[in-house]
Amino acid sequence: MQKFPVLRAVRGAITVDDNTAENISRATIELLRAILDSNRIAEEDIVSVIFTMTPDLNAEFPAKAARICLGWDNVPMVCASEIPVPGSIEKCIRVMITFNLPITGNVVKHIYLGGAQELRPDLV
């Protein structure tokens, strides 16, 4: 019996210390590599990527780091700002990657790094 790809989404987040292009790029790549490695996702399996950042981050686009460092020129990506909920985590980059999973039954591993671990302690 042939198994067909299944559309899945994986979430992740990471915090940065300062609002600099270097920090945002470094953290974005660290987070993406952890998600890709943990879930065995290949670039050709990615359908789209949505990045959000808290309003205190604006020095760089996370999608730019993905294009430059990972070569994701053909991956549809968008960046947006998180809703500024009072008392919420600061300096946080979030991502949701939609991808085709080659076989059914695999468990998606969501990745939360740095201070973003407080967002989903049940998944850390």
What digits encode the pLDDT tens for the residues 51-94?
Answer: 999 999 999 999 999 999 999 999 999 999 999 999 999 999 99
Cβ neighbours around 120 below 10 Å, total: 14
For the chain, which domains are there? 6-117 (3.30.1330.40)
- AA identity, residue 48: S
Sheet strands side by side (includes 77-81) = 77-81, 46-53, 92-101, 6-15, 111-112
CA 41 to chain centre: 12
Closest CA to 79 of 46, 47, 50: 50
Query: What positions carry a catalytic annotation?
Result: 11, 67, 79, 82, 94, 112, 120
| Predicted TM-score (pTM) of this structure | 0.91
Q: State the Cα–Cα distance between residues 32 and 36, nearest whole angstrom.
A: 6
